[in-house]
Structures are given as structure tokens and as C-alpha cells.
Chain A
């Protein structure tokens, strides 16, 4: 049998199907053509194969491609921050084979044309790019977008991300309407009346720094409202970047009551706390929802462990240097995350014994895929070859100049991480290979 690509010497780990074994993979026409159990692929075959088409996964884990359902690729509108091209390259470098883009572009992704524009650009990119459509036209909270049309064009969810849909009546309609298409409504849950104007978490830290706070209760109230509405309508609700202990608790109860609610957490919310802000006033730490207290951080970890939080999503939010190298309260909120996500998750969650690697991978691949209605990636023969290969033991330091994202706004620069991507394969093509 002739292959296009071989992945050899690795440990296959497919948490979706629950197996871990030493094996080699033969890839053909974008699919996993053959799984060779250890030793079945002979040296002779390997030696004859062109070196550039072999991924040597010695010491590494070979796993179904990672999925990030919350990224901002800024195209159309702010191509100076990120493009579909540069964003998908950064995704591949972070081990992702599939991402979902939020609709807060300029113009917003609220019509078929914009969806088609984004997906057509993505065809040349280094990962699969799905669109999340806007709930309301122009994301202004007034009228529903043509959601049926958007679904036809391929959107996998709807959201007015970046803003909370303030009008509860509108949110109820969105959940009811989206139910027809079995897509989730993703909520950026922060009540603007309570959070508006705030730039950091409300805590003693905000008091100390004299900065206006965004109180935890702004998120908690917003989540509670949306869970009630999801319960009422039977619609699917997904809570984006939960950041507060109270928010996690609300989701836990919602799930227990049988509401169709899922949730994600961003890596910065399970790694960073707000006491870092006063150290250097690093504008890369400014993000909405803000980084919170240590108790909140612990609640994120607990939520991941007990399954309240279904998945990890980066909220990859590129901003230019010009927008970040300014006064703290003038800086655009958000940070990039694709290229540090797995490293942070392994360092902060697996290495500290909170989540075993297979559980972690479930939260970064099969779970997020299911939330947006995609078939989870798998390593079985015949499946699409979307594969991530990483060394769980390799240590590295995050370097600004190494980011493939067009923007470099990461507060993790200089941080030592464990767990490094060796290569990413999407549709049988190597989209990233570590030097």
C-alpha cells in the first residue's frame, strides 16, 4: 500500500474511543489509511519513504486534532491584527486542526456572504475554520440575524460575543429560534450595567490600584439569566469563557436541573490571577472577562475536573502592539492564546495532577467538537487525518518572536511551559512541524 505520510514511533492516544497504544500511522488521501500496531511497520518500508513525509513521534503522543471553538481571526476588517491565514497558521502551531471564529468582525458575520468570504479564505489556510454567526444583525442586539441562512452557509453556532445580549426577551427568541437548527447560542455572559467601564476584576486588587472593577456578580447574573431562558426554551446554551466561581456553580446547577448548557474556560482563567496586574501594569493582562482571584481560578480547575466545564477554548484575541503599548485602561482587552493553550493546560492542569492527559485532550478535542455539532476527530482507520503530535515532557519558554500569530499580545511571554507541539496534521497535510 502506498502512503502520503507516515507518523511513526508515537503513542496513539484517542480519548474519544478510549485507547492508548504504541502504533504507527499510514496516511493516504487525507485519511488514516492504516494503523500499524507496534513493530508491524517494517524498517524497510520506512527507509524507502521520503524523509519529509515522515513525522517521527518518538516520545510523543499522537492524538486526534485539537479543536478551539472560540477564536477571533479579525478578518474581515482588522487584518492588521490577524488574518484567516495567519490565525490558522497560529492554530496549527498550537496543535489545532479546527477552530470556530467569533462573528465580531467588521462587518459582523451576520449574513451568508461574510460566512462564505471567511470560509473561502480558510480553504487555503492551515486549519479548518468554522464560523459562529451573529445572533443579531450587526451584533447590535436589536433584530435577529437570518439564522437559518447562516446555518445553511455553515455556521456552527450563534453568538454576539464581545457583548452580552442585554435584552432578555431577545435572548429568549434566539434560544427558541436556534433550537430549530440544533445549534448552540454562545453567551459572553457579563451584564454591562454592572461590568461597564470596569477594566479589571472587582476585588481588593482593583481597590488597591484604584481601577474600576468588573464584579463577579455581573457574570453570575448573566449566566443565571441565560440558564433560566435555556431551561424555558429547551434551546442549547453555551457559556463562553466562564471566569467566576459563582458562574461555575450556576452552570453546575443548571446541568443538574437538566438544562442544555455547556461551558468553556480560557487558559488564562485557570492560570492567572488579578494580583499580577499591579506588578507591571502589563496591558496583556487586560481581558474581558477579567482575570480573577485565586479562589475563582481554583473553581475553574474544579469545574474542569467534575465536568461542569466541558472544554477549554482560548478566546484568542489578537491586538496590535500599538493597541497594547499604551496606558492600561486604554488598552484593547484580550490576549492571544492558540500557541500557548496546550502547554498551559499540561503545565497547570496535568502536571499538577488535576486532569490526566486523556481527560485534558477530551476537553480540547472531542468535547468542543460535539458542542458545535461536529463529528469528533479520531485515530481509527478510515477517519480524516486531523492529528496533533505533542511531546508531553518537553519544556520550552514562550518567546514573543516565535509566535506565528500576527499579534504578539500574550502575558505568557517568558513563561516556562511543559508540553510542546511537534507537528500538526490536517487532512493528511503537515500544517505545522516544530524545528
Chain B
């Protein structure tokens, strides 16, 4: 049982069998989270380093916990305590860390392609925890896992992503993963916040939220970053909420047994109303729990994959 790559860099191009293996394995790990002792030994003796060049609370915590629950030794390094500001290059920083004899690196960085770059400088297994606005594969996987948990399948479902699609790494990972697994994917947001030539992702593109919601099973609501408004990409928060905010009223067009998701952190009252966020259809907290199981699965599966590389 192994993945076809020794790194997890992106869901674009990740084959279906790898996605299935990660999701199936996550299913097994999900049970461990309900045990009195939420810890298993397979990464005993492995050292995992979390390198966060961008502020993050939940992803960082989720990875740290997942690593600890697999009995790995972990350390976390964030920009605040890094030598980045002292002018050290990324390459030197990560090589210094690797010289401390580590096995895996979880990296978040504001530049797209950094996880790939690290595979070229390091021998460790690399997991992308978000690179610029490119991809955030474990978030995509946990969203997909959460959907599969509810419906028992992905194939044939209609999933709508709403919000700032242009600057969303979560959206890109969701789109690629869902499409590989046979879902039909649509996006909806202000036209200034849609990726250029977005239809080339092989998805349906909407700017009218009510039209977009028609026949949808899962709505994944992305966080709208308020600094985009200052950059002139939409006129005001008020107008955004009026045009794209998800309210109970708007849910009527969805399929029965619909699901509401949000990768967090939420701006309640902006992209999602309170009653939608807290409704029975909302699986927002399950997403957080499932994130643990998915990250444990990824760490577990990649930790075995070193022999294929240049490490003996």
C-alpha cells in the first residue's frame, strides 16, 4: 500500500487510486480520534517539522496534533521566530532544519511552488500545507472526506464553491480532487474574484448565486478576505453579502439532504449567515475533526515512502 509520490504537493494530477487510498486510510484513523487514548505508534522515531511562513492557527494545530497522535516527534517553526527577516534564504533555512536529521516537512508559504522547490533542496518527504493561492491539498482532501462521509460517495454529486475563487488555494485543491473522483463542480463569486478562464478547470462558472445553487448537493463557502475590498475587487462588504452571502432563504434551491461547508475561519454575517452556519446541514465542525484523520493518513502513508527516493 503506497502512494505514487513520496510528497503531497497538489491534488491536480494526483491519481484517483491515491485519493482513494488516503480517504480509506483516513477512515481508519477517524476511529482512533474517538478512543480514550488518541495515539498510535506508527511514526515513533520519526521527526516532522512544520514550517509556517504564513500565519495559520487551525492548519498548524491540526498538523501538530495529527503528528503527535501518530507518535512522531514534531517541531514547529513560524516566521515570527525564523531567520527569514534576517535575510537568510529559504533554501538555507530549510537545509539547516534538515541538518537536524528530520524526516518530513509540512510547509506553508505565500509563494506558489515552494513545496515543489523544497523537494529539490531536501531529501525529506514534503507536505504542502498551502502555497500562495495555488493549492492546499490536505484541506481539499478533508473537505472531500467530509462529503464522502455523509453521502458514502463523491461520484455524481454536485458541489458548489462560493466566494473569492481567484485567491483560494482551498478552491483549487477541491476542484481537482472532486473532479478526479467524479463530482460535478461549479463555482460562483463576483466576476472580479473568479480565476481568469475559470471554465478551463472543467467546471461551471456562475455569478448569480441563486442560479448557481440549483440542483446542488454541497455548498462550500469560502472565506471572503476583507482586504480584497480595499484592493478594489468588490465595492463593499454590504454589497458582497447582498449578492453572494449564503442565507437560509437561498438554500431553497439546493437538493434535498444538502450540506453546508466552510473551511474557516468564518466571517459570520458576511459570506455565511449565523443560522446557516449553525444549521443541522452544516458540517463545519466535522471538517475540523476530519482534518485530523486526513492529515494522519497522509503523514502515515508518506512516512513509508522514503525508500523510493534517494534516501537509503
Interface residues of A (CB under 8 A from B): 202-204, 206-211, 213, 278, 280-281, 322, 325-330
- Taking a contact as CB atoms under 8 Å apart, the answer to whether B132 and A210 are in contact is yes
Contact B197 A203 (CB under 8 A): yes
Measured CB to CB, the nearest residue on chain B to A330 is B111
Q: How far is the CB of B107 from the nearest CB of chain A, in Å?
A: 11
- Contact between chains at A204 and B111 (CB < 8 Å): no
Contact flag A210-B200 (CB < 8 Å), given A328-B111, A330-B111: no
**A322-B89 in contact (CB<8A):** yes
Of chain A, the residue at the smallest CB distance from B132 is A210
A281 touches B116 (CB 8 A): yes
Question: Measured between alpha carbons, how far is A280 from B113 in the docked complex, in Å?
Answer: 8
A352 to B64, CA, bound (A): 55
The answer to whether the Cβ of B198 comes within 8 Å of any Cβ in the partner chain is: yes
Q: Is B215 part of the contact surface with A, judged by Cβ < 8 Å? A: no
Is B135 located at the chain interface by the 8 A CB criterion?
yes
Do A209 and B198 have beta carbons less than 8 Å apart?
no
B112 near A281 with CB under 8 A, answer: yes
What's the nearest-Cβ distance from chain B to residue A21, in Å?
A: 51
Contacts A210-B172, A328-B113 known; 6 new A-B pairs at CB < 8 A: A207-B198, A210-B112, A210-B134, A281-B113, A329-B111, A330-B111
Contacts of A204 in B (CB 8 A): 196-197, 200-201
User: How many angstroms between the C-alpha atoms of A329 and B131 in the bound complex?
Assistant: 11
| Residue numbers in A under 8 Å from B114 (CB-CB) | 327
**Within 8 Å of chain A (Cβ to Cβ): is B195?**
yes
| 0 or 1 for each of B151-177: is its CB under 8 Å from A? (1 = yes) | 000000000000000110100100000
Among A210, A278, A327, residue most surrounded by chain B Cβ atoms (within 10 Å): A210
Residues of B within 8 A of A207 (CB): 166, 195-198, 200-201
CA distance A280 to B166 in the complex (A): 22
Chain B residue numbers with a CB within 8 Å of A326 are 89-91
Is the beta-carbon distance between B112 and A202 smaller than 8 angstroms?
no
The interface residues of chain A lying within 8 Å CB-to-CB of B12 are: 208
The one of B132, B135, B195 that contacts A329, using a Cβ cutoff of 8 Å: B132
Contact between chains at A211 and B200 (CB < 8 Å): no
Q: How far is the CA of A322 from the CA of B90 in the complex (A)?
A: 11
In the complex, which residues of chain B have a beta carbon less than 8 angstroms from the beta carbon of A281?
112-113, 116-117
- Are B109 and A327 neighbours in the complex by a CB distance under 8 Å? yes
CA distance A210 to B166 in the complex (A): 7
Q: Nearest 3 pairs between A and B by C-beta? A: A281-B113, A210-B133, A207-B195
Q: Which residues of A contact B166 (CB under 8 A)?
A: 207
Query: What is the 8 Å Cβ interface bit string for chain B, positions 120-148, against chain A (1 contact, 0 not)?
Result: 10000000000111110000000000000
Query: Out of B131, B167, B196, which one reaches A203, CB within 8 Å?
Result: B196
- Complex Cα spacing A313 to B267, Å: 52
Chain B residues close to A by CB (< 8 Å): 12, 89-91, 109, 111-114, 116-117, 120, 131-135, 166-167, 169, 172, 195-198, 200-201
- The minimal Cβ–Cβ distance linking B176 to chain A, given in whole angstroms, is 9
Which B residues touch A211, using CB under 8 A? 112, 132-134
A329 in contact with B196 given A208-B12, A210-B134, A211-B132 (CB within 8 Å) = no
Q: Which residue of B lies closest to A325 (CB)?
A: B91
Find out whether the CB atom of B196 lies under 8 angstroms from the CB atom of A202: yes
B113 touches A209 (CB 8 A): yes
How near does chain B come to A273, taking the closest CB pair, in angstroms?
15
Q: Which residue of B lies closest to A201 (CB)?
A: B196
Closest Cβ–Cβ distance, residue A74 to chain B (whole Å): 21
Q: Is the pair B196, A327 in contact by a Cβ cutoff of 8 Å?
A: no
Say how far B126's CB is from chain A's closest CB, in angstroms. 13
User: Could you say which residues of chain A place their CB within 8 Å of the CB of B109?
Assistant: 327
13 A-B residue pairs with Cβ-Cβ distance under 8 Å, sorted by A, are: A202-B196, A203-B197, A204-B200, A207-B196, A208-B201, A209-B112, A210-B172, A211-B112, A213-B196, A281-B112, A322-B89, A327-B113, A328-B113
Q: Are B134 and A209 in contact (CB under 8 A)?
A: yes
What's the Cα separation between A327 and B51 when bound, in Å?
Answer: 15
Are A325 and B134 neighbours in the complex by a CB distance under 8 Å?
no
Roughly how many angstroms separate A210 CA and B112 CA in the complex, as a whole number?
7
Closest to B169 in A: A210
Inter-subunit contact B196/A210 (CB<8 Å): no
Bound-state Cα–Cα, A206 to B166, Å: 10
Assembled-state Cα–Cα distance A202/B166 (Å): 12
Chain A residues within an 8 Å CB radius of B201? 204, 207-208
Nearest-Cβ distance from residue A394 to partner chain B, whole angstroms: 32
Nearest residue (CB) in A for B13 is A278
Instruction: Give complex CA distance A40, B109 in Å.
Output: 69
Q: How far is the CB of A258 from chain B (nearest CB, A)?
A: 36
Provide the residues of chain B in CB contact with A280, threshold 8 Å: 116, 120
Q: Which residue of B lies closest to A281 (CB)?
A: B113
In whole Å, how far is B140's beta carbon from the nearest beta carbon of chain A? 13
A210 and B128 alpha carbons, distance in the complex (Å): 14
- A322 partner residues in chain B, CB cutoff 8 A: 89
Q: Please, how many angstroms separate the alpha-carbon atoms of A325 and B117 in the complex?
A: 9
Q: How far is the CB of A282 from chain B (nearest CB, A)?
A: 9
Q: Which A residue's beta carbon lies closest to that of B113?
A: A281
Query: Which residues of chain A are within 8 angstroms of B172 by Cβ–Cβ distance?
Result: 208, 210
- Which A residues lie within 8 Å of B134 (CB)? 209-211
CB-CB under 8 A from A202, the residues of chain B are: 196
List of B residues within 8 angstroms of A327 by Cβ: 90, 109, 111, 113-114, 117
A328 near B90: Cβ-Cβ < 8 Å: no
Shortest distance in angstroms between A196's beta carbon and chain B's nearest beta carbon? Answer: 12
In the complex, what's the smallest C-beta–C-beta distance from B178 to chain A, in angstroms? 16
**Complex CA–CA separation, A280 to B9 (angstroms):** 12
Nearest CB to that of B198 among chain A residues?
Answer: A207
* CA A277 to CA B10, docked complex, whole Å: 15
Instruction: List A contacts of B117 (CB < 8 A).
Output: 281, 327-328
In the bound complex, residues from chain A placing their C-beta under 8 Å from that of B200 are: 204, 207
Residue contact A328 to B112, C-beta cutoff 8 Å = yes
Given A325-B89, A326-B91, A327-B114, also A206-B196 (CB < 8 A): yes
Measured in the bound complex, the distance between the Cα atoms of B111 and A80 in whole Å is 26
CA of A204 to CA of B205 in the docked complex: distance in angstroms?
A: 14
The one of A213, A325, A329 in contact with B112, judged by C-beta atoms closer than 8 angstroms, is: A329
- On chain A, the residues within 8 Å of B198 by CB distance are 207
Chain B residues, CB < 8 A from A209: 112-113, 134
Smallest distance from the beta carbon of B7 to chain A beta carbons, Å?
A: 14
Chain A residues with CB under 8 A of B116: 280-281
Which residue on chain A has the smallest CB distance to residue B114?
A327
In angstroms, how far is the closest chain B Cβ from the Cβ of A39? 57
